[in-house]
Chain A
Amino acid sequence: MTALVFTGAAFFLSLCTGKYPLSLSELLSGDEAGLRVFQTLRLPRTVMALCAGFCLGCAGMVYQIIFQNPLASPDIIGVSSGASVGAAAAILFIQASPAGITAWAFGGALIAVFFALALTSLTGQKNLTSMVLSGIAVNALAQSLLMALKFTADPEKELASIEYWIMGSLGSITASKIPVPLIVSAAGILLLFFFCQKILLLSLSDEEARALGVPVTLLRLLLLSIATLLVAATVSVTGLIGFIGLLAPHTARLLLKTNSRTTLFLSGLLGSALLLTADLIARSTVAELPVSILTSALGAPFLLWILFQEGKK
C-alpha cells in the first residue's frame, strides 16, 4: 500500500513535470526558439513548485510533532504573517521589484519568528504553551500591522499588489529566482532528515524528555529554526501558499500510520504533488489564478477521500 502511494505520487510528479507542451500545445507546433523560451519559464516554475511543496510538506510535519498538535502549521509562530508584513512594507515604502519583495518578506518572516521565540524566553517559562501563546501574540500584532499597511495603501495599484502577493502564485518564477531558494531548501531538508530521530524526541513531555537527558529547549529551537527557514525561503518567493503545511503531513500519517523518515519523505512528496497540481490548474484557466485558492480547493476533497478510504477498511 505504501509502495503504491509512493510510486503513485512520484509518477504524478513526473507527469506534472512532463506536461510541458500540454497547456500550450500550439507552441509545440510552433518554432523551436519559442519552445526553448517556454522551457526557461515552465521548467523553473515546475521545479519551484516541486521544491516549495516539498518544503512545506516537511516543515508542516516537523511543526506538528514539535507543537504536539495535529493542527499546527507553519503559521503557528508567525512565519506567514511576518512575511506578509514584510512584503506589504516593501510594496508600499520602496516600490520594490519582485526581488526586493522577496528579500523583505524573508526578513519579515525571520523577524516575526525571532520575536515569538524571544517572547517565549522572556516569559521565563520555556515550554510549549508559552511558545504557542507568543506565536498567537506575534500573529495578532503582524495582522494588525498588515491591516494598517493595507489601509494606507493605494487601492488602485498597491493594495491589489499586496493582496495578490498574499494569495500566492508561481507565475512570476523565472530561472534567476531558483538557485537561492533551492539551495536553502535542499540544505534545510537534508538537515531535517538528519535530525529525524531527534524530532520524535520532542513528542515527549518536557519532563520525560529532560529525564532522558534531552536538551529540550535547545533542540526545539534548533529544529524550529530549520523548519522556519524552509518555510520562509519558500514563502518569500512564492507568496503565501496555504493548506499544504497542514494537509500533507496528515495525509502521510494517515497512510503510513506512523512517524518516521519515510513519513517525512512522503509528507514532502505529497506537498509537491498537491502544489504541482494546483499550479497546473492555476495556469491553465483563463487568468493566472493565485495558487492558494487551488491548494485548499484540491486539498480538502483529497483528504476527505483518503479518510473515506481508510474508513472503509
Chain B
Amino acid sequence: MKLEITGFSAGYNKKPIVTDISFMLQPKTLTALLGPNGCGKTTLFKGLCHLIPSSGSCILTSDDGGAPYNLMQLNNRKLAQHISYIPQKSSISASMPVLEAVLMGFQPFLPLLSRTGKFHRVAAFSALETVGMQDFAAHDFCTLSEGQKQLCILARTLVQNTDILLLDEPDSALDYPNRNKILNILRKIVYDNNKAGLLILHDPCTALNHCAQLLLMKEGRLIGSVHPDQDSETVLSEALSQLYGPVQVFRQHNRFFLYPL
C-alpha cells in the first residue's frame, strides 16, 4: 500500500492556497505535517478529501492487488472508503449514544437505503475497545470531554477502515498524558493494519518521536521533508529551523528533544 501525491493544489474560489504539493506516504508509518498557522495544512486535507476544489495527481496503490486508484476521479462516497478525515473538533450537534457516533464510520459502505446491523455494532464496540472507550458506549456523545470525543472519533475512523488516515491536530485537545497515549494508539493502528497516517501536529517534538517522516510546509508549499530515524541531528535541526527559527535537535535515550536556540 502506498499513496503518491504529485503536483497537488487546492483552494477556495479559484485561488489556490496550497500549490504544487508532492509527497509519498508509506504503509505502517505516521507522517507529520508541520508548518506555521495559516500555511495551508488544513486546506491540504480538505482538498485531499474533495471538500474544496483541488487539482493534481493522487494515486493510491492498495493491498487488495487491484489497479491503483486515482483518488481525484472518485466521488465523495468512494473516496471516503479510502481516505478518512478526522477534524480537530467533532461537529456532532445532537445528543446520541457514543456507539451511534462510532457507527457513522460505516456510512461510506452503506447505500442510501440501508442501515447498520448487529455485525456493525459488534465491530463498532471492538473499535471502542481499541481506544479504551468501551465503557462509554451507551453514554451521550455530547457529554464527553474533548479528549474522550477525540478517542471516539478515532474509533469511528477505525470502523471506516480506510488505508489512509488524515488527522487534524489529534493531540491538541488532549491533556499531556493522553497526547502520548493517542499517538501510541495511532502508531499501533497503522502498523498492525498496514495503513498510513498523515497528521497535522504543532509540536515538532511529538512529530520527531512518533513519525517516520516530517513534511515541512510554509506559505502553501512544501519546503522540505526529513526522516528522524535516518537523518542526522544536524540535518533535522537545519530543516526545522526553516520553520521555527534557530532550534537544536538532539537525541538521547533513543528519544528526540528539541529546544530553541
A219 within 8 A of B: yes
B50 proximity list for chain A (CB < 8 A): 210
B122 to chain A minimum Cβ distance, whole angstroms, is 17
Contact with B along A240-269 (1 / 0, CB 8 A): 000000000000010001111000000000
B81 proximity list for chain A (CB < 8 A): 213
State whether B96 touches A260 (Cβ < 8 A).
Answer: yes
CA–CA, A200 and B94, complex, Å:
8
State whether A68 touches B77 (Cβ < 8 A).
Answer: no
A281 to chain B minimum Cβ distance, whole angstroms, is 33
A215 within 8 A of B: yes
A9 proximity list for chain B (CB < 8 A): none
Selected from A203, A205, A212, A218, the residue in CB contact (under 8 A) with B94 is A203
State whether B95 touches A259 (Cβ < 8 A).
Answer: yes
A213 proximity list for chain B (CB < 8 A): 76-81, 107-108
Selected from A212, A218, A257, the residue in CB contact (under 8 A) with B107 is A212
Stretch with Cβ within 8 A of A (4 or more), from B27-35, B97-105, B208-216, B217-225: B97-105
A23 within 8 A of B: no
Size range of the chain B interface in the assembly = 20 to 34
A200 proximity list for chain B (CB < 8 A): 94, 96, 100, 104
CA–CA, A153 and B51, complex, Å:
52
Most buried by B among A65, A213, A259: A213
- Nearest-CB residue, chain A, relative to B52: A207
Stretch with Cβ within 8 A of A (4 or more), from B85-93, B127-135, B170-178, B190-198: B85-93
A160 within 8 A of B: no
Residues in A178-216 with C-beta less than 8 Å from chain B: 197-198, 200-201, 203-205, 207-208, 210-215
A132 to chain B minimum Cβ distance, whole angstroms, is 14
Selected from B87, B97, B112, the residue in CB contact (under 8 A) with A208 is B87
B54 within 8 A of A: no
Most buried by A among B46, B76, B97, B160: B76
B49 proximity list for chain A (CB < 8 A): 210-211
Most buried by A among B51, B93, B115, B160: B93
CA–CA, A65 and B96, complex, Å:
11
CA–CA, A218 and B113, complex, Å:
13
B84 within 8 A of A: yes
A212 proximity list for chain B (CB < 8 A): 80, 104-105, 107-108, 160
Contact with B along A26-55 (1 / 0, CB 8 A): 000000000000000000000000000000
State whether B112 touches A215 (Cβ < 8 A).
Answer: yes
Given known A-B contacts A219-B112, A260-B100, A214 and B92 have beta carbons under 8 A apart:
no
CA–CA, A210 and B48, complex, Å:
12
A205 proximity list for chain B (CB < 8 A): 91
Interface size on A, residues (CB 8 A): 24
Selected from A207, A218, A258, the residue in CB contact (under 8 A) with B96 is A258
Selected from A204, A211, A258, the residue in CB contact (under 8 A) with B140 is A258
A203 proximity list for chain B (CB < 8 A): 92-94, 96
B92 to chain A minimum Cβ distance, whole angstroms, is 6
Given known A-B contacts A201-B107, A219-B112, A211 and B95 have beta carbons under 8 A apart:
no
State whether B91 touches A208 (Cβ < 8 A).
Answer: yes
B86 to chain A minimum Cβ distance, whole angstroms, is 9
B232 within 8 A of A: no
State whether A211 touches B96 (Cβ < 8 A).
Answer: no
State whether A68 touches B94 (Cβ < 8 A).
Answer: yes
B116 within 8 A of A: yes
B209 to chain A minimum Cβ distance, whole angstroms, is 28
B126 to chain A minimum Cβ distance, whole angstroms, is 20
A214 proximity list for chain B (CB < 8 A): 76-77, 107
21 example contacts (A-B, Cβ-Cβ < 8 A) are as follows: A65-B94, A68-B93, A198-B112, A200-B104, A203-B94, A203-B96, A204-B91, A204-B92, A204-B93, A205-B91, A207-B91, A208-B87, A211-B51, A211-B80, A211-B85, A214-B107, A257-B95, A258-B96, A258-B97, A258-B140, A259-B94
- A sample of 18 more A-B contacts (CB under 8 A), given A203-B93, A257-B95, A259-B96, is A68-B94, A197-B115, A197-B116, A204-B92, A205-B91, A207-B87, A208-B90, A211-B49, A211-B51, A211-B76, A211-B84, A212-B160, A213-B76, A213-B77, A213-B78, A215-B76, A259-B94, A259-B95
Please list the residues of chain A having a beta carbon within 8 angstroms of any beta carbon in chain B: 65, 68, 197-198, 200-201, 203-205, 207-208, 210-215, 218-219, 253, 257-260
By Cβ-Cβ distance, the 3 closest A-B pairs, closest first, are A213-B80, A205-B91, A213-B77
